[in-house]
Amino acid sequence: MTADPPGGRVRISPLARKLAAEKGIDYSRLEGTGPGGRIVQADILASAKLAAAQPAASSALSGSPSLLVKGAIQKDEAVTVSNMRATIARRLVESKTQIPHFYAEVEIDAEPLLALRAQLNFGLEKDGVGLSVNDFILKGAAEALRVVPAVNCAWENAGDDGSGLPSIRHHSAAHVSFAVAIDDGLITPVIRDAH
């Protein structure tokens, strides 16, 4: 059991003190998260978990003589990409440089969505159908375009409509695209008429 340091008494709960002794943890070095900085059971368990993780991290670094090793981290070379990756890169650059962008963020509580998903998946299980969270996000995006149709627009460069001036094309349907990662890059299938 660890004795209290000479500089003063360490505030620790009896259960935490017993647990520290069992696990061989020097609690005098810990900062407590309990009331008034008191060391509690959770502090001892967190310290034990950290101590257990450190040998794993040390063994992962074994074979490396020092964390301050100098030199190249990999071979300096240019690797030719596939046509798909080249097209993805070109389209991303075009999208970011030629089309005006704005970003909207909102924070939501997804617990009701997850409960609905579980309920629907339970009912659909016999048909071999399962709904993902992504399915709900896609449908939510389509419904948002219905509710706020001014967002369902695209920039058209000068002359596309014959006037010689840039214009904004308002779309009558919600065609929602999403990115799907594949081995060689990504594809963006479009769910047409998602509204």
Q: Can you give the pLDDT at residue 69? A: 61
Q: How many CB atoms lie within 10 A of CB 48?
A: 16
83-191 fold: Chloramphenicol Acetyltransferase (3.30.559)
- Does the model's pTM come out above 0.75? no
- Every domain of the chain and the residues it spans: 14-58, 83-191
Compute the residue count for the chain.
195
How many angstroms separate the CA atoms of 158 and 167, rounded?
7
Contacts of 89 (CB under 8 A, 6+ apart): 81
3-state SS assignment for residue 96:
helix
Q: Is 83-191 the same fold as 14-58?
A: no
Q: Can you give the pLDDT at residue 159? A: 63
How many angstroms separate the CA atoms of 136 and 142, rounded?
10
Q: Which DSSP letter does residue 192 get? A: T
Under-50 pLDDT residues of the chain: 1, 4, 64
Q: Can you give the pLDDT at residue 1? A: 46
Give the CATH H-level superfamily of domain 14-58. Answer: E3-binding domain (4.10.320.10)
Q: pLDDT, tens digit, for every residue of 84-136?
A: 888 888 888 988 888 777 787 889 899 999 999 999 999 999 999 999 999 99
Contacts of 12 (CB under 8 A, 6+ apart): 20, 27, 32, 38, 39, 40
